[in-house]
Structure 1
Amino acid sequence: MVSADQIRTVVGIIGNAISLVLFLSPVPTFYRICKNKSVEHFSVIPYIATLLNCRLWVLYGMPFVKPNSTLIVTINGADTVIELLYIFIYLLYSDGSRRIKALLLLFADIAFIVVVSAIVLCIFKSHEQRTFIIGILCIVFCIMMYASPLSIMKRVIQIKSAEYIPIYLSIAYFINGLCWTTYSLIHLDVNLTIPNAIGLLFAIAQLLLHAIYNKSTKRQSIEGKSEVALVEVNVTH
């Protein structure tokens, strides 16, 4: 007979694999940034939010907070490194106010984690207390991470194009939220269930935006390529 713990472990391993896909899903976006040597209208907020979220979950899964949470620590620790790389590339190819904004957000991210860690470790002595406090923060910032790609929603509606909401990231958010919601429900962990269930809703909203503006996004892309070709012809002549 397969136990609930064994099922949860398997689902957790699958969740780690899917989460890794989620964390690597922005690679096409950053390939484009490196190729064009510009961040264009892409926002750094999703990557700052993801970094903060992952560092909080690493803290949550530490033995002195919530023992036996190795799967949570491993995947979020790996993503911390990946997100830092994304942010470094963003800083490299941004300038002016965009670079300053990204740096300020990064420093605020680091300072926040340091302060939270110091407060929790110094004031709260039991695992239950630490899990409760950090769990609440994880819920809040995990929801913010899932919602962060919608920060560009106003522009998407204005230009009727979902070009700047990365489709692969939205799909990965959906699958990731579904998997970790399942994982948390096997042995109920409210701190995991709430943000990932809400994350599913945000991911669905992002996918709906893609569905609504898919045709206009393709049309604008084709028109843009046509304009570039026309300019090249004129220059040649």
Structure 2
Amino acid sequence: MASLSFIIGIIGNIISILVFASPIKTFWWVVKKKSTENYKGVPYITTFLSTSLWTFYGIMNPDGLLVVTVNGAGAIFQLIYVVLFLVYAPKDKKVKTAKLVAILDVGFLGAVIALTRLAFHGTMRLTFVGIICAGLTIGMYASPLSVMRTVIKTKSVEYMPFLLSFFLFLNAGVWSAYALLVKDIYIGVPNAIGFILGSAQLILYLMYNNKKSAEAIEEEEEGGGSAHLVKGGIEMHSVEDNLNNRSLNKWKSLPKPNFSRQHSMQKIIKTLSLTPYELQSSWPLHESDIEEGNPDLP
């Protein structure tokens, strides 16, 4: 029957491999777009270094089979990510990434392996590599501290994905339990720290999950103010339109002059525009004028 430590180690392997596989979607988009865009290669380079050193540690440790399997798989994942990043990164970023790979994943890793083999003997080899691995793992778990500070400052979990925080918390907890059972301080200390930091992240997530950031609130207030201004402008415009419509309707409701009044008015206007001769010739002739021989008549 398998021991409890072995079962927990298998669970730890599964969780860790899921964490290592999480960037697959990211790199699927990188390959599809043939560009790394704004992604950074540093996390994959450092994780490759860490998993490679842990694999080396597991090889030297007589009880390190599960450490080798999980970190060996992780190293393969990270190597693929680094290669894809180098292939699709822009030229300037590609050069910087290649230099970092040469320094950390080739130079530093090779130096640690060589120094371990040449300078140390017996249990000191395991101690030397274990301390380096523990330090790298603590650095990995401590990296979200800046994100946690941002969450507290903005009161928003926008920049702290829940699933990643949850799986890192779960991963650290499982490996802490494994280290406690196998009495491995180099695995236990960094994962215990990771478990504490992971718990803090989840607590922050519960505290600020339903709260909006100050920037979001400010944007909403600005948007609301603009909406009120627009609404007010529309209402004022509607009032003006109503007043204009009332005036127009009032004018339309006035009684229209009848035809005779219109005809008389037209005659007056026409009369005022006539010359004296035209004015005289346009007057009607009365019978008395004709009979008396009015001298004013032509």
2:63 equivalent to 1:68: yes
Is the deviation greater in 157-166 or in 74-83? Answer: 157-166
SS at match of 1:120: helix
Give yes or no for contact 2:141–2:197 (8 Å, CA) kept in 1: yes
Aligned match for 1:52, one of 49, 52, 61: 49
Q: Once the two structures are aligned, what percentage of the paired residues are identical?
A: 38
Alpha-carbon distance in 2 for matches of 1:114, 1:6 = 35
Quote the offset at 1:207 in angstroms: 5.0
**Counterpart of 1:14?**
11
Please give the alpha-carbon distance, in whole angstroms, between the structure 2 residues aligned to 1:173 and 1:130: 28
Residue of structure 2 equivalent to 1:125: 121
Alpha-carbon distance in structure 2 between the residues aligned to 1:93 and 1:155: 30
Report what 1:135 is aligned to: 130
User: CA RMSD, aligned part only?
Assistant: 3.2
Deviations 1:155-198 (A, max 9, x none): 88999986776654333222111110010011321101111111
Larger Rg: 2
* Larger RCO, structure (CA 8 Å, separation 6 or more): 1
CA distance in 2: counterparts of 1:69 and 1:97, whole angstroms: 40
Q: CA distance change for structure 1 residues 60 and 155 in 2, over 3 Å: closer, same or farther?
A: same
- The alignment of Structure 1 onto Structure 2 pairs a total of residues equal to 214
Distance, in Å, in 2 between the alignment partners of 1:43 and 1:209 is 26
**TM-score, scaled to structure 1:** 0.75
Counterpart residue number, 1:180: 175
State the Cα deviation string for residues 211-233 of structure 1 (Å, max 9, x = none): 6478769x99xxxxxxxxxxxxx
Aligned partner letter, 2:11? I
Which of 84, 88, 110 lines up with 2:83 in the alignment?
A: 88
Aligned letter for 1:182?
A: A
For residues 96 and 174 of structure 1, the distance between their equivalents in structure 2, rounded to whole angstroms, comes to 37
- CA deviation after TM superposition for structure 1 residue 200, in Å: 2.2
TM-score by length of 2: 0.61
User: Counterpart of 2:164?
Assistant: 169
Once the two structures are superposed, what CA deviation does each residue of 1:76-134 show, in whole Å capped at 9, x if it has no partner? 111111101111222233214432332222112221111111111112121x1111111
Moved more, 9-18 or 95-104: 95-104
Q: Does 1:27 align with 2:27?
A: no
Secondary structure in 2 matching 1:61: helix
Gaps of 5+ in 1: 221-237
Which runs of 5 or more structure 2 residues have no equivalent in the other structure? 217-298
Q: 1:176 to 1:60 in 2, by over 3 A?
A: same
1:109 aligns with 2:104: yes
Read off the aligned partner of 1:34 and give its amino acid letter.
Answer: V
